Structure 1
Amino acid sequence: MWRAVASNALTLLIVFLFLGGGLILWGKRSYETTGPLEQAICVRVEPGSNMTKISRKLETDGAISNGTIFRLGADYSDKSDQLKAGSFLVPEGASMRDIVDILTRGGASTCGTEIVYRIGVTRSEFVLRELDPATNRYVEQAAYDPAGDEAPEAFAEPLSRADTRHRIALAEGVTSWQVVEGLKQVSVLTGDVVELPAEGTLAPHSYEVRSGDTRGSVIGRMAAEQDAILEEAWKNRVDGLPLASKEEALILASIIEKETGVPEERRQVASVFVNRLKQGMRLQTDPAVIYGITKGQGVLGRGLRQSELRRETPWNTYVIAGLPPTPIANPGRASIEAALNPAETDYVFFVADGSGGHAFAETLAEHNANVAKWRRIEAEQDNQ
């Protein structure tokens, strides 16, 4: 009898072990396999949250099939107490293991709300936008000009949240003065800029910042980025350029930046100025004259007067020979590369062509014909 009982007990133990092992394998497979999420979502983890709360939310959102397995998997991988506050993008089909990794790895938020501080040439704009997980594109919620407008109420709550991302975007061609004035308006930054950065030394780019970063540290990042861009472009420059140093390359690049907004024209514009420098011709570039008037502090807002074109300043390239003494703006990578690798042309003139671009010429006669054509276009536009 006891032998039968022992045999039955052993059989039951084997069955339980078999079932337990199967259950563990099923749980492991469920934890690691493709999840039920059909469309990417943004998961916000509040400060002080825990895996229990998150698992319930994920079940409600249809991101996981079993909250218990999700929590057990997090426990087993020693990640239950590693949740990071923020907003995180969870892609479609993400497994429970993937989601645990996304929510515990740390770093900046990957979705949710973002405030972009755009510092432009003619105006600045602060934009509140939200990532649409379905398209992985940001949708604008509100915007305003910090120079003259009050911040919309929509900005208040995101500015108070730790998981809101902040990004500073510098337009190509902004001056250092414009950058500093723009940074003064960014309320999440701290500290003062002690000294105006040298013109041309800040890279137009998009910079993610955190609340509490100093303005000085952001300026430092911009300067380091421009140094790296200029160094690389200088190493890859073509032979025979009439440029004695990286600083002269930066000056030329800034003029190219201000002369054209058409990306395809940059190397042609660069060729005009390089050819003029080689031939000893004056550069005769209006943006440099304007910089001599404004010193980069704002926009002139009108056309140049004849008296200003004749007045001698260090930046009046109608009067001085060669390059002006400093850059006239902060050029972007493409203009720096164009200055150091211009198109091979014989052009020494260019003028607006009425389409947003320019007409280029090798001779004064061709240039005069292009100018006459532009004058007719201007007159037609004025009469409309």
Structure 2
Amino acid sequence: MRRLGCLGLIAALLLFAAGVWVAQGWKGAGPLSRPTHVTVADGSSLAGAARALERAGVIASAQRFRLQARVFGDGAPIRAGEYAIPAHASAAQVLALLQSGKVVQRLVVIPEGLPAVMVRDVLDRADALTGPVDTPAEGSVLPDGYAFERGETRAAVLARMQRAMRDYLAAAWARRKPGAVVTSPEQALVLASIVEKETGKPAERRMVAAVYSNRLRLGMPLQADPTVIYPITKGRPLGRRIRQSELRAKNGYNTYASAGLPVGPIANPGRLSIDAVLDPAATRALYFVADGSGGHVFAETLEQHNANVQRWYAVRRARGEM
């Protein structure tokens, strides 16, 4: 009887010790000394996640973490993804984070007016993305910031960018004003890409759109410099002045050599430029030139425009640019 009592006591002590070992650190500070990121791969079990956490120094023991999760957790599944683990996170906090699915969101930003070749550059430089991607069709991407997770494919992110453009263009076309000169969403995209490249001032976009709309109605050449540059560089900076031979070149894009719209977009226009060509300002202006402050001055007649050009030349001479 005495021996049985001793064995019972030993068993009780061992059970208590095991309980202490399992409970130790569940809600107390963990061993991680500085914040880190841990990735839980698709299809990972709790055991696999625990091993990854142990390797990263987030928890002291993968085995203990699994037991703790079973004893103290609520049974909710963990979710795959990249997680930002704060320093000294407790096992309870870590499990809750993995169950929440609040993964690290990374951002790739496409500025307004970026050409397709440079959209591909941005995607290629995003190291957390995977896989190859083709250069998208010009004008098919809506400029914006796009969140993604580590390991997502470049093609998948590009598809979201293109879906966003299709959705926005369709919505904008549905609310177009009667004064819009373009007759299809595709034409709107082409004209918006020119407006996007001609002015960086949001307040000017409807005026620039109106100038080009007025020229289209009258059959005048648009004479937009960015359309001359596009077939030369595919939208990348030219880095020099446009040559006279380039102004005369007929290639489907050059709006000095031919009247009407180019054969396609010359950049990826943003929302404001798309809206501008579908609701241009009410003006008879046919010309504009830089005003020296980053904006433009507009004119209805060639005489007014020539005077504005001379004022712009005077500004450039004063700056030593001519």
Q: TM-score, normalised by structure 1?
A: 0.61
Q: Which of 211, 222, 231 is 2:170 aligned to?
A: 231
**Higher strand proportion (structure 1 or 2):** 1
> Segments of 4+ in structure 1 off by > 6 A?
42-45, 97-103
Q: Which moved more, 1:181-190 or 1:212-221?
A: 181-190
Structure 2 counterpart SS, 1:344: coil
1:20-39 deviations in Å (ceiling 9; x for gaps): xxxxxxxxxxxxxxxxxxxx
1:371 aligns with 2:309: yes
Aligned residues: 262
Q: 1:192 to 1:99 in 2, by over 3 A?
A: closer
Structure 2 counterpart SS, 1:379: helix
In structure 2, the partner of 1:182 is 122
Q: CA deviation at 1:103?
A: 6.8
Written as runs of structure 1 = structure 2, the 5 A alignment for 1:289-304 is: 289-296=228-235, 298-304=236-242
Q: CA deviation at 1:87?
A: 2.6
Distance 1:83 1:232 in 2: 35
What amino acid does structure 1 have at the position aligned with 2:165? Q
Q: 1:45 to 1:325 in 2, by over 3 A?
A: closer
Structure 2 counterpart SS, 1:206: strand
1:78 aligns with 2:74: yes
C-alpha contact (below 8 Å) 1:202/1:223 kept by paired residues: yes
1:31-80 deviations in Å (ceiling 9; x for gaps): xxxxxxxxxxx986866369xx99xxxxxxxxxxxxxxxx9xx94x8268
Distance 2:36 2:291 in 1: 52
Unaligned runs of 5+ in 1: 1-41, 55-70, 90-96, 110-164
In structure 1, the partner of 2:111 is 171
In structure 1, the partner of 2:200 is 261
Distance 1:330 1:374 in 2: 29
What amino acid does structure 2 have at the position aligned with 1:86? Y
Q: 1:82 to 1:305 in 2, by over 3 A?
A: closer
1:356-381 deviations in Å (ceiling 9; x for gaps): 00001111111111100000001111
Structure 1 counterpart SS, 2:230: helix
Unaligned runs of 5+ in 2: 1-33, 39-48, 59-67, 87-91
Root-mean-square deviation (CA, aligned residues, Å) is 3.2
Q: Which of 201, 223, 246 is 2:140 aligned to?
A: 201
1:331 aligns with 2:269: yes
1:105 aligns with 2:130: no
Q: 1:191 to 1:79 in 2, by over 3 A?
A: same
Q: 1:82 to 1:315 in 2, by over 3 A?
A: closer
Q: 1:285 to 1:45 in 2, by over 3 A?
A: closer
1:251-293 deviations in Å (ceiling 9; x for gaps): 0000000000011111111111111111211101000111122
Distance 2:208 2:158 in 1: 29
In structure 2, the partner of 1:348 is 286
In structure 1, the partner of 2:152 is 213
Q: 1:206 to 1:319 in 2, by over 3 A?
A: same
Give the structure, 1 or 2, with the largest relative contact order (CA under 8 Å, sep 6 or more): 2
Identity level (%)? 44
Q: CA deviation at 1:186?
A: 2.5
In structure 2, the partner of 1:270 is 209
C-alpha contact (below 8 Å) 1:203/1:223 kept by paired residues: yes
C-alpha contact (below 8 Å) 1:271/1:342 kept by paired residues: yes
Distance 2:267 2:77 in 1: 49
Q: CA deviation at 1:104?
A: 4.0
Q: Which moved more, 1:279-288 or 1:79-88?
A: 79-88
